[in-house]
Amino acid sequence: MITTITLNAAIDQVYEVDSLAVGGTNRVSTIIQEAGGKGINVAKVLKRSGADVTVGGFAGGINGERIRQLLLKKSIPSELIQVEGESRVCLTVLDSKKSKVTELLESGPEITKQEWQAMLNWIDEQSKSVKWFALSGSLPKGLPTTAYTELIDIINANGAKAILDSSGDALRNGIKAKPFAIKPNEFEIATILGKATVNETDLLDVGKRFVDDGVEHVCFSLGEKGAIFVNKDGYFKADAPKVEVVNTVGSGDAFVGGLLYGLANGEEPLEAYKRALACGSVNAMYSKIGFIDSQQVEELMGQITIIKL
């Protein structure tokens, strides 16, 4: 069993237009509506990979009920804590002609102290029976930047393992709790280091520091450039397989889903890394967010070579 946590769940609404006219009238050719938020996207990838997965987090209002219904349609069980505020809608506009993606993201509800305590109590009980967790996404209003730190501390104390995928202070503080794995991108690491940009040497140096501090797998996702991985055995690099890109939204979440599926099922780290890259690449081939085809994942895994640096 795997549990994914989405503290700021959403309805993902994808509109496809022939050519986006900013300031003009646009006619939508295709509409896709899904339950969303990074942890939910991870859960969708895990489900399509064949994993037994449950979704946790917060959901409120009419949108929250719709999120639950959309998860039920995909046969993904959820134990989302009811909150007073209204869950958000995230709109993605795909420009077919220019192959451009535009995102409009609502901020979501403000979480009260009582609602957060309910989450801490729930994660404590859940992590006594579930051994693998994905903690993904930004923090909703009302939560401290140490929110992931608190969750990881509880998960670790109960002998379970967490993969963290966030940004800014939420990521910086979460790393201090020693999650089993993290998946930052170049921008997120640059922010932590206080730099405008980072190079490969920066990534290797900070990756080693994180591993020395207790993070077992540091996975730097580099988009179309592939990924760099750091663990106790050294530094590893892989190029992304070449695919026809339709929509990259959710590819980072698919990467986490592939990584988590591999590690939870006892794959060797390098094999799990290949699965992560393959899942992220397959997601980019579709307009849906957090979508993979398992056969395509296996095919791409065979095309990925990981080298030790």
Integer Cα distance of 133 and 140 in angstroms: 19
| DSSP-derived secondary structure for 176-238 | HT--SEE--BHHHHHHHHT-S---HHHHHHHHHHHHHTT-SEEEEE-GGG-EEEEETTEEEEE
pLDDT at 43 (0 to 100): 98
What's 114's DSSP letter? Answer: H
Determine the 3-state secondary structure of 308 from DSSP. strand
Kindly tell me the burial class for residue 26, based on how many C-beta atoms sit within 10 Å of its own C-beta (0-12, 13-18, 19 or more).
middle
What's 125's DSSP letter? Answer: H
Give the tokens for residue 234.
């050294």
Integer Cα distance of 228 and 204 in angstroms: 8
Per the annotation, the verdict on 213 as an active-site residue is no
Write down all domains in the chain, each with its CATH number in brackets. Answer: 2-17+30-308 (3.40.1190.20)
Report the relative pairing of strands 306-308 and 234-238 from DSSP bridges: antiparallel
Per-residue pLDDT 10s for the chain (309 aa) are 999 999 999 999 989 999 998 889 999 999 999 999 999 999 999 999 999 999 999 999 999 999 999 999 999 999 999 999 999 999 999 988 887 889 999 999 999 999 999 999 999 999 999 999 999 999 999 999 999 999 999 999 999 999 999 999 999 999 999 999 999 999 999 999 999 999 999 999 999 999 999 999 999 999 889 999 999 999 999 999 999 999 898 999 999 999 999 999 999 999 999 999 999 999 999 989 899 999 999 999 999 999 999
Catalytic residue among 12, 205, 253, 293: 253
Q: Which alpha helices (DSSP H) does the chain contain, by range? A: 38-49, 61-73, 113-126, 147-157, 168-176, 186-193, 200-212, 251-264, 269-284, 294-301
Token match 């940004």: residue? 167
Integer Cα distance of 187 and 194 in angstroms: 10
Give the tokens for residue 259.
């990584």
Amino acid, res. 130: V
Residue count of the chain: 309
> For residue 78, what are the CA distances in angstroms to 68, 82, 93, 121?
7, 11, 27, 16
The secondary element (H helix, E strand) that includes residue 55 is strand 53-60
Integer Cα distance of 166 and 184 in angstroms: 7
Integer Cα distance of 205 and 72 in angstroms: 43
In degrees and rounded to multiples of 5, residue 243 shows phi and psi of -135, 165
- pTM: predicted TM-score of the whole model, two decimal places: 0.93
